[in-house]
Structure 1
């Protein structure tokens, strides 16, 4: 939450709404260890529930990179109590069953009312897990999976990474998208060095016309590449969604 690009994004968003930022587990001053997108859904659910406890009746989640995958899974797993998004629609039974199996542990651990989002924005998010098709992602996998890499993450990036593999493997972003029942915006740069354009296109296709897709010309990866104009447009979208 203390990184300059995150603070810059929050300042732009704050011109139109109240903003809550936080550090995922294992990042910065937060306790615990990062699970690189799995249990971070619990962190986001806690932040959303806390926002509602402060009196905010409408909450929009915005995530960048790994955070983008987290906001997608969170929107799929946490549903409102007013009947919207009660379950998967026709032709989505398999995805719904998988969401139930993978999400059961997540929601059982949380137990918070009002942890759902009313709209979601995923910026520079991956569509699938274990992607190693670019050099930055191969380096990231080294940081996550190797002891030496985790030391680099801890002391070089202030990120403490869990040593255990995912068990079970969490619902992937592209599997989560068909289960989302709130307005969804997918934003991706055409010069993203981590995830090429097949990722956002796969996410948009999985939404079956339910999502809005912005492919940004000349943009790189995540909050570091998001300029004020893009952040302003995102804020405007959240206000009108």
Structure 2
């Protein structure tokens, strides 16, 4: 069997509001900008990645909900974005019911893995799949991890960061043990970082001391332009390339590519 030429990365954290969707959108944009062929899979029922890339609900004929139910293929859901070489499989609120509907289905943990493999066979120049996970560690996130080569964890620089990190690390270990032996931690992304804030610096020191070089050198700063961009249906890198947040995501993409080449 040929080794797949693409890499699937799950962007996951059970806490909400830590920058998962923002990271997925802007990392995908930065990767596409340097020539990678990227598919974003929106696996969050809120559908923020889809909206943030300019795909309104009215244009989502098929979604990842249909994919998990095997009523549509990923390529049927695929939508273009404002970024060349970056497409998205959008989400919708129906996805919230998928965990209950698939509860008794055989091989339910591998629905997304199989769909991505089928898609990759149809899109031979695919190099990256980024999965935007919901803020939970339920079946949707487990599906994402079972389908992925590695996990990226956005970690907000706040007091309870390490507590939440320990929980998601346990989930990664469990998925590796039971469903996906190749799964690894690609890295931890410090988000909403404010170097003037003692707490941000303390969290950074603590996470780096515990996780070492698994923490990316690049930290994503708090940035108004990053917050504004989704309301315009654009990644921050298109909305304002020169802002501090966009430049941080460009540097992060370089680190991700370097780690992937070393994997």
- Same fold? TM cut 0.5: no
Considering fraction of residues, name the structure with more helix. Answer: 2
TM-score (norm 1): 0.41
TM-score (norm 2): 0.39
Considering fraction of residues, name the structure with more strand. Answer: 2
